[in-house]
Amino acid sequence: MSASGSPHYFGASVSIVGNIAAAGGGASASYNSTAKVVVFKTTNDWATYTTTELSRPSNAYAHFGGNLAISNNYLVTSAWYDNIEGRGIIYFYKTTDGGTSWTKKQENIGDGNSWPSAHLGIGETNKMIDIHGDIVVVSGRGY
């Protein structure tokens, strides 16, 4: 799988738990239509797999899927900016069928009052979102 246009970063963020893997690609604002999260599911040790592309929320202006994490039945990902005030957004998805389909359950938007909250989930070299059970940790880039 790849994204059209240049630059594109599909696969810049990956996470795997058991028989479910996810890859995200946070494209730049000028190539926003290429930003995506794809979930891969296998039942036979990855000999074959199915894919599900998560729908990109309309307010995910840039870099949707640039960071992501999976734990149990949850997937958390980010968009570095929304399309209204340039704030970072964290999206929470849940599966109830073992990873075949995913539903957006919640989104949290940075307050936009400071650089870290305005840029939730930005990571240049580090994974900036992680999830373990019902605990989610997200960082923002400070200037």
What is the per-residue DSSP string for 9-50? -TTSEEEEETTEEEEEE---GGGGGG-EEEEEE-SSTTSS-E
Q: Which residue has the tokens 């893997």?
A: 21
pLDDT tens for each residue of the chain, 143 residues long: 444 444 566 777 899 999 999 998 765 555 455 678 899 999 999 999 999 998 777 666 567 788 889 998 999 988 776 655 666 778 899 999 999 999 988 777 665 554 444 455 554 434 578 888 878 887 766 54
